[in-house]
Amino acid sequence: MRKVSVIGIGETKMGNYPERSLKNLIKEAGNSAIADSGIEKKDIQALFIGNFNSSLLCSQSLVNGLACEVLELDNIPSMRIEAACASGGLAFRQAYLLIALGLYDCVMVGGVEKMTHAPSALVTEAIASAEDYELEVTKGLTFPGVFALIANRYMEDYGLSRRELSYIPVQSHSNAYLNSDAQMKKLIDIDKVMNGMPVADPFTIFDCSMVTDGSAFVILCAKDKLNQFTSRNTGVVDVIGSGHGGSWLSIANKNLTSFDGTKQAAKEAYQMAGVSAEVIDLAEVHDCFSITQIINTEDLGFFPPGKGGFAANDGMTAIDGKIPVNTSGGLKAKGHPIGATGISQIFEIVTQLRGDAGKRQVKDASIGLTHNLGGAAVTCAVHIFQRSE
Amino acid sequence: MRKVSVIGIGETKMGNYPERSLKNLIKEAGNSAIADSGIEKKDIQALFIGNFNSSLLCSQSLVNGLACEVLELDNIPSMRIEAACASGGLAFRQAYLLIALGLYDCVMVGGVEKMTHAPSALVTEAIASAEDYELEVTKGLTFPGVFALIANRYMEDYGLSRRELSYIPVQSHSNAYLNSDAQMKKLIDIDKVMNGMPVADPFTIFDCSMVTDGSAFVILCAKDKLNQFTSRNTGVVDVIGSGHGGSWLSIANKNLTSFDGTKQAAKEAYQMAGVSAEVIDLAEVHDCFSITQIINTEDLGFFPPGKGGFAANDGMTAIDGKIPVNTSGGLKAKGHPIGATGISQIFEIVTQLRGDAGKRQVKDASIGLTHNLGGAAVTCAVHIFQRSE
């Protein structure tokens, strides 16, 4: 397979923008990525876009055609991928693979979501559409409940306390405080998390990721064709591994404390990259809920099963820790613009590998990983990136 | 690129099944395709599925996870593609490309849609989500109106009469009458079409495709690995070309009488196959409305611009004509289970190339083409198939 590089990134500040349209969000993030890449629009051969619920919340499907129109990309193939919260990560994988395998040379990939304009009951219903409607949603189980079941099982099995779980969002808020694109800019402490509004036992509001409007885009190019498309010769980041894993929709027959989809995706990505978890310098992982971040860091091989929460409490996932996790602030505090989340994670890793992350910069970051999960670990994308020498 | 073969096909009878669930439809079509292929479930390495509007009409997203669960496919990567009416065709393309390019050896691809349980106003709204919501839908323009504008422009430019346009659905009904999977089994004549209930001038109800529940699946396998997966040695059909084209979402700046997305996709598919339109023995083309079938047969190169309607009236698209079109009955009369339509078209072509089409069999059919369109020609997939010698 050919080597593929990320040559441009762009995103909106994540936030609460009920007055902004899908078009407006796409336009800002997309044109920012194009400008950052130094390529001309005419060189973009295809566009892939992740979007979860604009059909439901914005009466808008075929968001790929909308993006081509807004970004003035003429007559190119385009496609929308819906993989719930992993929509962005899987859109990125399709674009990456079709360049790596030689079909295209230069592709644009993005994600967008617009949710805060809708009543919260409708947002909850839209998000719950990524569960099994017949088996779960009609019984009153929505996602906070799904992951609360998971948290209870994990805490019981491994002895993680409510106080230790609370450290996860504290760190996310602390990292987001250093990120100008983050939706949440407020430092919190463990007592605040524990005393927050109850959502689904053991979760308080601080264990749950945000409802976010936002968009993010990246430009991918075959590494052997870089000179044809851009004069950029610094800040190029290579994609060295890609993995896709999955499991069934409902949680009825699932292991609740480890996700097969993540492990499959990680295995594929590590094999492709020829590296193991030990060499990863930093990772953005899918922290839709506090417990998810902990389980992900175990499934990705950073910590043994049952140890991820304790490791975080020991400072191992901090910006200056052994394996910094969610330096951006993660879904919890940077924000969770669902279809854009997987691309926004890549935005952070590329920013870090370029050395452009300012006060949250991970020292000597060379290899970074993104992990994007859809549904109750129903579909999962893992990508590994390396600073180009 | 490696050669890829279709080794199994399955579909539900298309119909009006308000009482059947998405799961029920998927189960029948999917297991039928697996049985037809002769492979074991454990050999399926990935699943791609096209679905347009189950998020809106069934409160169900992540249909890929649902399909893996229903079909008991363990822990494999899966993905849903939403490309409006081209969802199935684009899902097929992803599966095809990832085998052709060497990533997977054996992949399952399908589509599903369930619509007839919903009130017709909601179905209209769901379908209209594939237009530009801000520019078009809020102004009262839904799809019959979009394609009526196209029909009026075409009839004015090329002198096609309302009577001549009416021949298209007459032929579709006639073909569907010979297809046991078709939703509509009623012969009609030109006067019936012309005197049908008005929908959007010049269209009557008979110019418009159906609202359909249904599902279709196929199994794809690397041709050089066939012996590893199946004992099937007859009825194998090779995919020899794949194309994907697109254009902007709204019709504001579009050529209304020829679709760039189709032309791009056809060009790519013909080039990959190393063939031209002249060698195609039969085609399933996207007849969401009568006028669309005519334009498609021109954009695909079967007839010159402005001549497609007259050619059909001259019998050239009949089962025994120069280039039989929509022998299945097409979207108009076989049915239009939106996310499954592109796969259902492939089901028909494979059936024909196997020589299994009974009374609607095209004599000596060797090379067939499918053309699947999403939105107002916003995204388009073209595939070319050849009977394996």
pLDDT in tens, A333-368: 999 999 999 999 999 999 999 999 999 999 999 999
Contact between chains at A247 and B75 (C-beta distance less than 8 A): yes
* Integer Cα distance of A340 and A89 in angstroms: 8
Q: Is A336 among the residues known to form the active site?
A: yes
Q: How close is the nearest chain B Cα to the Cα of A73, in Å?
A: 8
**Contacts with A132 from chain B: Cβ below 8 Å:** 66, 69
* Tokens (6 digits) for B119: 């009130």
* Integer Cα distance of A232 and A226 in angstroms: 8
CA distances from B127 to A68, A167, A283, B84 (A): 20, 46, 40, 8
Contact between chains at B79 and A81 (C-beta distance less than 8 A): yes
* Integer Cα distance of B359 and A326 in angstroms: 62
pLDDT in tens, B331-356: 999 999 999 999 999 999 999 999 99
Task: Report the range of poorest mean pLDDT among A192-201, A266-275, B78-87, B226-235.
Answer: B226-235
Sign, CA dihedral A375-A378-A384-A385, equals negative
Is it the case that residue B223 has pLDDT exceeding 80? Answer: yes
Q: How close is the nearest chain A Cα to the Cα of B74, in Å?
A: 7
Q: What ipTM did this prediction achieve?
A: 0.96
Fold classification of A4-118+211-229 is Peroxisomal Thiolase; Chain A, domain 1 (3.40.47)
Instruction: Note the pLDDT of residue B389.
Output: 72
B242/A contact by beta carbon, under 8 A: no
* In contact, A244 and B76? CB cutoff 8 Å: no
Alpha helices in B249-337 (DSSP H): 260-273, 290-299, 308-313, 330-333
**Contacts with B75 from chain A: Cβ below 8 Å:** 245-247, 260-261, 264
Sign, CA dihedral B221-B267-B80-A242, equals positive
* In contact, B147 and B291? CB cutoff 8 Å: yes
Contact between chains at A81 and B76 (C-beta distance less than 8 A): no
* Reported confidence tier of residue A253, pLDDT bands at 50, 70, 90: confident
* Tokens (6 digits) for A224: 């052997």
User: What distance, in Å, lies between the first and last C-alpha atoms of chain A?
Assistant: 19
Rounded to 5 degrees, φ, ψ at B277 are: -55, -30
A114/B contact by beta carbon, under 8 A: no
- Tell me which chain B residue has its CA closest to the CA of residue A45: B245
Residues 6+ positions from A231 with CB-CB distance below 8 Å: A38
Provide mean pLDDT across the span A150-155: 98
Rounded to 5 degrees, φ, ψ at B359 are: -65, -15
Neighbours of B149 (CB within 10 A): 17
Q: How many helices (H) and strands (E) does chain B have?
A: 15, 11
Contact between chains at A378 and B248 (C-beta distance less than 8 A): no
Question: Active-site residue numbers of B?
Answer: 85, 336
- Residue B263 is classified by DSSP as H
For A112-155, what is the HEC assignment? EECCCCCCHHHHHHHHHCCCCCCCCHHHCCCHHHHHHHHHHHHH
**Contacts with B101 from chain A: Cβ below 8 Å:** 97-98, 101-103
* Integer Cα distance of A294 and A257 in angstroms: 10
Q: Domain limits of chain B?
A: 4-118+211-229
Instruction: Note the pLDDT of residue A389.
Output: 72
Instruction: Note the pLDDT of residue A234.
Output: 87
Q: Rg (Cα) of chain B, in Å, rounded?
A: 19
Rounded to 5 degrees, φ, ψ at A66 are: -60, -45
**Contacts with A58 from chain B: Cβ below 8 Å:** 133
Contact between chains at B248 and A69 (C-beta distance less than 8 A): yes
* Integer Cα distance of A145 and A150 in angstroms: 9
**Contacts with B81 from chain A: Cβ below 8 Å:** 79-82
Position A237, amino acid: V
* In contact, A348 and A278? CB cutoff 8 Å: no
pLDDT in tens, B130-184: 999 999 999 999 999 999 999 999 999 999 999 999 999 999 999 999 999 999 9
Instruction: Tally the C-alpha atoms within 13 A of residue A86's C-alpha that lie toward its C-beta.
Output: 37
